Amino acid sequence: MAFVLRAFSNGMDGVFIGGCRLNECNYVTHGNYHALNMVLLLRRIMEHIGLNPERLRIEFMSGAEANLFVEDVNSFVKKVKSLGPLGEAEGIDRQELKVRLAEMSKLVPYFKLMNQEKLGSRLKTDEEREGLFTQEEIDKLFSEMVSYYIDPEKCQACMTCLRRCPAEAIVGGKNKIHVIDQDKCIKCGTCFEVCPPRFASVKKLSGEPVPPPLPEEKRTLVRKAKEK
């Protein structure tokens, strides 16, 4: 997903993915099914942000089917040309498009995490595939977007979350109440999982605003024993 979004961010008007025939993958992981499901999800996300989903296509062929590859690519190029330049054809301002694509790229881990099961499915018919992700589901994914927040009243500055965060989105240190930089957070949920249950300081919020972070000057942790 990240590669596709990067291609659009770099000004490509369309992205074509070619994969081995379904059920003929050399690996037990059947990565071509995963790629197909990823495309189905991303096409819905493109619709959500106002882009024509036909700008993204996946086709399957064997290494011996050069003619099929040529046919598919030519038909895709024809389609993309008929759609016109990315964003411009959809009436989205260039700067706005950049912002929307950057936001979606940042959310890729979240999209994957929330759709893990469906991304691993192996559906047989086009009809089933078409219904794998509905637009309503995707709209809900955005309206009920999850955020993580560290409760300053509970954080004990153990630094576990800071060490495990894959996006360096947690600001803290020894004896410092930790805070999450929401601009950097990729919503992976690791901090929520690893915060020791006896502290349970990380809150998972769904579709609600995140409280503002504790000001820098108030982040020094005053331990109860020391207070006495």
Catalog residues that contact ligand SF4 under the rule CB under 6 A. Answer: 148, 150, 155-161, 165, 167, 169-170, 172, 178, 180, 185-191, 195, 199, 201-202
Measured on CA atoms in the order 134, 136, 142, 146, is the torsion positive or negative?
Answer: negative
Nearer of residues 73 and 167 to ligand SF4, judged by Cβ: 167
One-letter-per-residue 3-state SS of 132-187: CCCHHHHHHHHHCCEEEEECCCCCCCCCHHHHHCCCCCEEEECCEEEEECCCCCCC
Strands 56-60 and 176-180: unpaired
- Output 66 or 200, the one with its CB closest to ligand SF4: 200
Beta strand 15-19 pairing with 56-60:
parallel
Q: Shortest approach of ligand SF4 to residue 30 CB, angstroms?
A: 28
C-alpha–C-alpha distance, residues 45 and 107, integer Å: 11
- Beta carbon nearer to ligand SF4, 38 or 202: 202
Nearer to ligand SF4, 34 or 164 (CB): 164
Residue 136 Cβ vs ligand SF4, minimum distance, rounded to whole Å: 26
Q: At a CB cut-off of 8 Å and minimum separation 6, what does 199 contact? A: 154, 155, 156, 158
Query: Please, which residue, 94 or 184, has the CB nearer to ligand SF4?
Result: 184
Least spacing, CB of residue 2 vs ligand SF4, in Å: 15
CB of 207: closest distance to ligand SF4 in angstroms? 16
- Count CB atoms within 10 A of the CB of residue 70: 10
Sequence-ordered list of residues with C-beta below 8 angstroms from that of 34, at least 6 positions apart, any chain: 119, 120
The minimum distance between CB 210 and ligand SF4, in angstroms, equals: 11
Least spacing, CB of residue 41 vs ligand SF4, in Å: 20
> Which is closer to ligand SF4, CB of 36 or CB of 162?
162
